[in-house]
Structures are given as structure tokens and as C-alpha cells.
Amino acid sequence: MTLQTPTDYRTALRRLDALVAAGVEGNAALETEFRELILALDVYESKLGLLPIPNLPTSLAEMIELKRQQMRLKQKELAELLEVPAGRLSQILSGKRRVTLDLAKRLYERLGIPSDFILKNA
């Protein structure tokens, strides 16, 4: 299977979503189609120069760092945005200090970090 056009790409993505939603485990034909779709999508994306999606953050410090990079802020600017001293933010990012409830609210409001992610990883 080869993808030649953006329409082929979108169709393949929709099919992949349908396979994921239906579940392919235990069905050899669907598992084969799933693998072929993944391979075709990878080849097409590499031709376009698209980068793979990086691993999603698993800790609150990683999520804060990701948001900082996305917003193109320096750590000092992020500290100002969050209204915390730069040293305290550094300690939070290094795991030496925990997030307070007030800071958790600001992470949610100002950085858009989902509240459930904050609660699970704080």
C-alpha cells in the first residue's frame, strides 16, 4: 500500500482510527491491515518531512517544560507568568519541590495543562 496524495493520507488516517476504535486484536486480517496502514503512513510522512510526535510528558515537570517550549518562554519568563520565584520554579522542574494548590490553578489557567493531569502527577 502506498499513499500518493493528501486525500490518500486522510483516508488512511480515517481507516486507522476506525481500526483502533473497533479493535484489531485476534483478527489476523485486521492486524495485517493495521500494520500496513502504519507503514504506509510512516513512509508518506517521512517523504513530507513530518517529524513523529514526541512522547507525551509523563510527569508534571515534563508537561510544564513542554508548555514553556511551546510558548517560547525562558524559564524566568515562565516563572513571572506563573507568579513564582525563578528558584522555586527550578526546584519544581527538578522534582525537589511539590506544586501548591495555587500554582496548580495557575498551571491550569495560564498554561492550559489539564486539571486531571495536574492531579495525577502533582
107: pLDDT confidence band, cut at 50, 70 and 90? very high
Asked if residue 64 lies in contact with residue 93, where contact means CB atoms within 8 angstroms, the answer is yes
The pTM assigned to this predicted structure is 0.56
50 pLDDT above the threshold of 70:
no
Asked if residue 12 lies in contact with residue 36, where contact means CB atoms within 8 angstroms, the answer is no
Task: Kindly report, residue by residue over 62-103, the tens digit of the pLDDT.
Answer: 999 999 998 999 999 999 999 999 999 999 999 999 999 999
The single-letter code of the amino acid at 77 is: E
Asked if residue 43 lies in contact with residue 3, where contact means CB atoms within 8 angstroms, the answer is yes
Q: What is the DSSP letter of 9?
A: H
Q: What is the pLDDT of residue 110?
A: 94
- The three grid cell numbers given for residue 62, joined into one nine-digit string: 515534563
Q: Lowest-pLDDT range, 4-8, 26-30, 31-35?
A: 26-30
